[in-house]
Amino acid sequence: MKRYEKFADEIAELIHTGVLAAGAKLPSVRHASRTYGVSPSTVFQAYYLLEDRGLIQARARSGYYVREQGPLPMPEPGPPSAQATEVGVSELVFSVLGSLKDPHTVPFGSAFPSPDLFPLPRLARSMAHALRHLSPHEVIADMTAGNADLRRQIALRYMVHGVMLPLEELVITNGALEALNLALQCVTQPGDLVAIESPTFYACLQVLERLQLKAVEIPVHPRTGIDLDQLAERLERMPIRACWFMSSLQNPLGASLDDDKKRALCQLLKRHQVPLIEDDVYAELYYGNQPPRPVKSFDDEGLVLHCSSFSKCLAPGYRVGWVAAGRYAERIAKLKLMTTLSPSVPAQAAIADYLQHGGYDRHLRRLRHALETQQGAMLASAARHFPAGTRVTQPTGGYFLWFEFPEQVDALVLFKLALAQGISLAPGPIFSASQGFGHCARLNHGHPWSAAHERAMDVLGRILHSF
């Protein structure tokens, strides 16, 4: 990171934390140069960058000020849907995912943070170390049981979050996606009803479609998460066989249930003896000091199948995830043996070594800081470029913002027009079994903010104004 970028980040932090309030005047270039012991050109470049990010603005003959423009308002939760829905959204999702292959596209539609944010060289060292110490016998044996060190390290992290996890409950998988697939397959039969969130992660819709399951959509409040009253009512009225929820930093809204609601959700599951597939892949990406607790930590009946992975916070492409599967662990292990046998043994061993020796928590702190800073940059940029009437979430973690545009905006048209200008985004309808959220979109801020991103927001703003 260049000196001026570092300096800009420090100022940005002061703005985000409110030390420099909206409307406050920034020190002059000469004054800042003297005070902070940096060259005037460093200050100038930093201010220019901050202006580019929309955090400050120049006033003629007066200097730089923190921008007055307030944040965009939060979106409202969507309306409930009355009945179960057949899912048929896969083709739309594939056409969106296909748009992400071009490396020159501004990746606001991506599902991953920038790979530059991950300690890939350090992981490569862990890989080399692990392969030197892996016996030939383990290369075969780890395929069925999973790497023993990795299982222990994962169980240790659960302990820190208040979950005492017996190792037998843990099934290592090809990323969280395989964990979620196996979990749902394990607890349902074709034709069954499954309660999901609305909006929800599109892969959830694809899995339901593939397994011929019907979706019962439960609305998610942008800040407080899933509507438990509605869930309770549906569980009474309909033969729901499983729930699939993200209780912390939900994708795409970023909402988290508080601990009371997580406890209440557990009670509901228990009363109806319905398993919960808890997709918790963003839990490590919280911004505050307090990691969110999983619903799993309130479960004393083995009803929660807690799925996660290292793909979003450490090692994309290694494809190592897991499910802590409660009472379903043995069946899931067997399903895995029948379908993919095992995740890559070297990848498991490398991550196990990294967790022991690589400085995972230090990396996570840096990553969370970067994502939070980038969130601020995107929010500020959106406030500057997007039309009045736009609403946006402000999650306390992760790297997604969910935008609700004015009613007349068609997100699928927006998607196509943006793509033609080299900008990807995830249009609202791919997050809905009933093709709702037609004027919404999810934007990824997982990449270091740059002039290209700022320009892309400007272009999006112009397209939005044209509707």
Q: Does 280 bind a second copy (CB under 8 A)?
A: no
Nearer to a second copy by Cβ, of 292 and 398: the residue is 398
Quick one: which segment of 40-48, 175-183, 271-279, 417-425 binds a second copy (CB under 8 A)? Answer: 175-183
CA pair distance 385, 454, nearest whole angstrom: 9
CB of 425 to a second copy, least distance (A): 17
> Residue 245's beta-bridge partner residues?
278
Q: Does 116 bind a second copy (CB under 8 A)?
A: yes
CB of 352 to a second copy, least distance (A): 14
Residue with tokens 């913002």: 401
Q: Does 124 bind a second copy (CB under 8 A)?
A: yes
Distances (CA, A) of 43 to 2, 34, 46, 62: 12, 10, 5, 16
Q: Pick from 38, 92, 145, 383 the residue near a second copy by CB under 8 A.
A: 145
Q: Pick from 38, 120, 412, 463 the residue near a second copy by CB under 8 A.
A: 120
- Give the type of residue at 14: L
From the list 296, 265, 267, 263, the residue with the least C-alpha distance to 279 is 296
Distances (CA, A) of 204 to 15, 90, 213, 215: 37, 10, 11, 10
CA pair distance 96, 448, nearest whole angstrom: 22
Distances (CA, A) of 390 to 6, 180, 250, 387, 409: 31, 33, 20, 6, 10
Between CA 436 and CA 278, with CA 266 as vertex, the angle to 5 degrees is: 50
3-state secondary structure of 418: helix
Nearer to a second copy by Cβ, of 22 and 128: the residue is 128
In which element (H, E) is residue 33 found? helix 29-36
Each residue 196-235 as x (binds a second copy by CB under 8 A) or -, in order, gives -------x--xx--x-------------------------
Nearer to a second copy by Cβ, of 257 and 350: the residue is 350
Q: Pick from 28, 35, 39, 144 the residue near a second copy by CB under 8 A.
A: 144
Q: Write out the binding residues for a second copy, residues 75-114 only, by CB under 8 A.
A: 90, 94, 97, 101, 103, 110, 112, 114
- Give the type of residue at 91: E
Q: Which residues contact a second copy by CB under 8 A?
A: 90, 94, 97, 101, 103, 110, 112, 114-116, 118, 120, 123-124, 127-128, 131-132, 134, 136-137, 139-145, 174-175, 177-178, 181, 190, 203, 206-207, 210, 316-320, 334-335, 337-347, 350
